[in-house]
Structure 1
Amino acid sequence: MAGAVPTTTRNPSPSRAQGDYTMPLVVLTSLFFMWGFITALNDILIPHLRAVFTLSYVQAMLIQFCFFAAYLIVSFPAGYVVEKLGYKRGIIVGLVVAGLGCLLFYPAAGRASYALFLGALFILASGITLLQVAANPYVTVLGRPETASARLNLTQAFNSLGTTLAPFFGSMLILAVAARPVADAATLSPAERAAQAAAEASAVQGPYIGLAVVLFLIAVVIALSRLPAIEAAEQPAELPPDTAQAVYHTHDSVWQYRHLVLGALGIFVYVGAEVSIGSFLVNFMADPGVAGLPEETAAKYLSLYWGGAMVGRFIGAALLKKVRPGHLLAFNALVVVGLLVLAMLVSGKAAMWAMLAIGLFNSIMFPTIFSLAIEGLGKHTGEGSGVVCMAIVGGAIVPVIMGFFADRIGLLHAFFVPALCYLYIAYYGLKGHYADFEPVAARRQG
């Protein structure tokens, strides 16, 4: 949604522009914070469960694989669920499913079963996927069409707040329980090792039970709240400012909307690039040719990366009220390409700071691509949101591609992979999201 969000042609009363949606937006913002917090906890689970179960790196990365796989498997069906139940009920169902996933961490830890942990993560991520499918488009329709991207960026800023705070709480509540060194574990009998693993795995029980309680409470609050019921649109009520003299194509199938398909690809490469950079950033900063930091010290700098994304979203929410979303998206993407090239060409701490600065410019990309992709889908908005959320599976695939090149040409030069991703994002911001628009004069001639 560059500037306009589809509304029903029946002009519901009161209109969206006239309604006061402050409280509904406050309630929805809590959802963005929660799923950011939960997603960032995966970075704590990986080292913890790797130590508990003595996993290889490939086995440990199944945590992220199972989490992001839910977006691919669940997103499109979730779109149909939202269309059948409505935005509000869809959000409640998503919260309940995510809460059940959190509760499953208790038996997974009790049995010290890595397979159960992975299953719990998949269910948890399925609930979060449903939340995203329902809440993202809901935020865009709660207010004036021309400020849709600004609202979504503002709520996403609280998502970044969750990702910034989660590592600190996770380190205190989970990583504070240190795994027994391998040398000590080797002296234990099989039964003693199983008991030790169960004791260490239990460190996640309290935090995730607490998360389940919070998710269920939010579901109750939303169920009791008087959130406005907004119907899917038949056609856009107002053209985006980028396309003042244009008409919008309507299609029978959601897959016929080229700007949606191109936007889904944009989400795929963006999430993939973001996860790739985050996954390799500690190793990058620990490289003697860059900063030579101990890994523990390098890990602390990640808060600057995620904190930059949070600050950037607050700034972006203000800028998007005055700047065309597509143009700002393209500008930020090209800046990131420049920072990646700079990091690949120079050495020392300049390269480290260039990488950390990427977080600031990543800030507005996900919500802006999302809003542009589902603009004007009308009755297909729920399905379209599901298609876009499916593309988040890029977070499981692009890092593997980058890792393939890192093993062969070195980590530093492997950053060309996310650079290519951001070049596509720049294209989408400048041109790709216009795919289903055409000049009025050309339409008349046709």
Structure 2
Amino acid sequence: MSESAKAHLPVDGGVPNTRFGLIKDRSLQLKDGYLSKIPLFQFILLSICFPMWGAAASLNDILITQFKALFTLSDVASAFVQSAFYGGYFVIAIPASRVIRKYSYKVGLLLGLSIYIVGCMLFFPASHVATYTVFLAAIFSVAVGLSFLETSANTYSSMIGPKESATLRLNISQTFTPVGFLAGALLGKYLIFTDGDALHKQLEGLDASARQALATEALQRTLEPYRLMIMVLVVLVLLVAITQYPHCKPLNEANQEKPSSVAETLAYLSQRPAFIKGIITQFMYVGVQTALWSFTIRLALQMDSSINERSASNYMIYAFIAFFIGKMFANFLMTRVNQDLILIAYSVLGMLALVYVISVPNFSAVWAAVFASAMLGPGWATIYARTLDTVEDKRFAETAGAIIVMAIIGGAVIPVLQGLISDLSGSMQFSFIINIFCFGTMALYFWDIYRHSKTPVASKETAA
């Protein structure tokens, strides 16, 4: 087949997509891996995968509070929930990218969803063993599945349509993520937390037998959200399995005959300073996002000792709603204003909000933390798409995308550092100071991009 013919292949390779009653899409596969237009049904189904890791992540924020009381943990020890979760991402991202490189993005999605189901199922034996380390192992297993899922979905979303709309397309998919954050928080609030006194107060003064009984009951409640998630995941994996997806990989036989190795990819990426800066910024972004949400409930409990975990979780829910609003507003602005200026403004406002959090000794500090969550809005997707776009040779796209996902290890590091600051200073409020530096890194990153841009004001077409 000639190169000109290859450049305009239908997304399904010319095979009518009539099984299961699905309608054949007319999008054309372009030579660089992008499509001539977005296949709408496939894009929507792909975007529905995004809330699934949001739900798992926000449940971690609930588990941190629950495990701290049940296992009598320090703030730094409770933060190891996030270390287990984001450590799974870090370890598996490169292997996941090689699977995607050898097979397809769809295979990556199916593997991710399937392993995610297995990880959720591991919570059930973990509840019977009832030790902190076994729960951490179950959380790590969930993260392994999510690493496959997110490594596939983030890069795929940026590729499944025209190149000029890659950043906005990923931002639209990422807009679904707060739905998962909110769902996870609501599941935790109503299925894990209870009314009455805070759990640590309920456990105080009980004899060993009564304490064990209450702890067992509390651990059993942690299973309820995962039962529901397993059912949703089974439906989703079946829908993805029966839907035909475009390959979204460069149409170049030479590249397919000699796929790039990890070493070749790393050598290529190490010569691209813009890619390295993006990785550092993504590390900081995920760090501040995870740390903010890990300790919002703890901050509320510290600032008002009269409330319990269920009441304090409301502020976690408000944070996710603020995050969603912030992201939607940013998506609107990106069609009209330079993206870099938007991210600079968001980062600076986030820093100011956190200065308020650590400076004002009353409950309004919790609301400032909620506002800071709104300023996270467009960060992940914009940094991801910008960083991936620096990889001009798309032979390296899958592994480059995995390395960007590996930057999620910031979610394992920053919360632990914040927990350490809290333990050493004796102030959860003061520990939020570390998040100011994360927002500052983001502001400098986008200022650097804006300063070196040949076109300071992005055209409407570029933003779209």
* Aligned counterpart, 1:383: 399
Post-superposition offset of 1:168: 1.6
What pairs with 1:195-344 in structure 2 (closer than 5 Å)? 198-232=216-250, 253-285=268-300, 294=307, 296=309, 297-344=311-358
Post-superposition offset of 1:182: 4.8
- Distance (Å, rounded) in 1 between the aligned partners of 2:187 and 2:416: 28
- Distance (Å, rounded) in 1 between the aligned partners of 2:354 and 2:307: 22
* Aligned counterpart, 1:98: 116
Q: Which amino acid aligns with 1:269?
A: M
What pairs with 1:327-406 in structure 2 (closer than 5 Å)? 327-346=341-360, 348=362, 351-377=365-391, 378-406=394-422
1:148 aligns with 2:166: yes
With over 3 angstroms needed to count, the CA separation of the structure-2 counterparts of 1:383 and 1:358, relative to structure 1, is same
Post-superposition offset of 1:153: 1.6
Post-superposition offset of 1:416: 3.4
1:89 aligns with one of 107, 111, 116 = 107
Q: Which amino acid aligns with 1:36?
A: G
Contact persistence 1:111–1:198 (CA under 8 A): no
1:181 aligns with 2:203: yes
Post-superposition offset of 1:359: 1.6
Structure 1 residues without counterparts, runs of 5 or longer: 1-7, 235-249, 440-446
Post-superposition offset of 1:209: 3.2
Residues 255-301 of structure 1: per-residue CA shift (max 9 Å, x gap): 3322221111111111112222233334544566xx78746444322
- Distance (Å, rounded) in 1 between the aligned partners of 2:419 and 2:59: 22
User: What is the DSSP-based 3-state SS (H/G/I as helix, E as strand, rest coil) of the residue aligned with 2:161?
Assistant: coil
With over 3 angstroms needed to count, the CA separation of the structure-2 counterparts of 1:90 and 1:283, relative to structure 1, is closer
Contact persistence 1:283–1:295 (CA under 8 A): no
Q: Which amino acid aligns with 2:402?
A: G
Moved more, 324-333 or 99-108: 324-333
Q: Which amino acid aligns with 1:333?
A: S
Post-superposition offset of 1:370: 0.8
- Distance (Å, rounded) in 2 between the aligned partners of 1:172 and 1:410: 28
* Aligned counterpart, 1:246: none
Aligned residues: 410
- Distance (Å, rounded) in 2 between the aligned partners of 1:225 and 1:318: 30
1:423 aligns with 2:440: yes
Post-superposition offset of 1:111: 3.3
With over 3 angstroms needed to count, the CA separation of the structure-2 counterparts of 1:405 and 1:223, relative to structure 1, is same
Structure 2 residues without counterparts, runs of 5 or longer: 10-27, 253-264, 456-464
- Distance (Å, rounded) in 1 between the aligned partners of 2:51 and 2:209: 44
Give me the TM-score of the superposition, normalised by structure 1: 0.81
1:11 aligns with one of 7, 15, 32 = 7
Post-superposition offset of 1:322: 3.0
Residues 25-46 of structure 1: per-residue CA shift (max 9 Å, x gap): 2111211111111211112223
User: What is the DSSP-based 3-state SS (H/G/I as helix, E as strand, rest coil) of the residue aligned with 1:82?
Assistant: helix
- Distance (Å, rounded) in 2 between the aligned partners of 1:167 and 1:398: 21
Contact persistence 2:326–2:374 (CA under 8 A): yes
Post-superposition offset of 1:226: 1.4
Post-superposition offset of 1:184: 3.5
State the Cα RMSD in Å.
3.2
Structure with more contact order per residue of length (Cα contacts < 8 Å, sep ≥ 6): 1
With over 3 angstroms needed to count, the CA separation of the structure-2 counterparts of 1:31 and 1:411, relative to structure 1, is same
Moved more, 345-354 or 201-210: 345-354
Q: Which amino acid aligns with 2:408?
A: I
User: What is the DSSP-based 3-state SS (H/G/I as helix, E as strand, rest coil) of the residue aligned with 1:362?
Assistant: coil
With over 3 angstroms needed to count, the CA separation of the structure-2 counterparts of 1:299 and 1:108, relative to structure 1, is closer
Contact persistence 2:54–2:180 (CA under 8 A): yes
User: What is the DSSP-based 3-state SS (H/G/I as helix, E as strand, rest coil) of the residue aligned with 1:226?
Assistant: coil
Q: Which amino acid aligns with 1:71?
A: Y
- Distance (Å, rounded) in 2 between the aligned partners of 1:385 and 1:66: 21
Residues 119-140 of structure 1: per-residue CA shift (max 9 Å, x gap): 1111111111111111001111
Q: Which amino acid aligns with 1:336?
A: G
- Distance (Å, rounded) in 2 between the aligned partners of 1:63 and 1:329: 29
Q: Which amino acid aligns with 1:422?
A: F
Post-superposition offset of 1:399: 2.5
- Fraction of identical pairs, as percent: 26
With over 3 angstroms needed to count, the CA separation of the structure-2 counterparts of 1:419 and 1:49, relative to structure 1, is closer
- Distance (Å, rounded) in 2 between the aligned partners of 1:87 and 1:81: 9
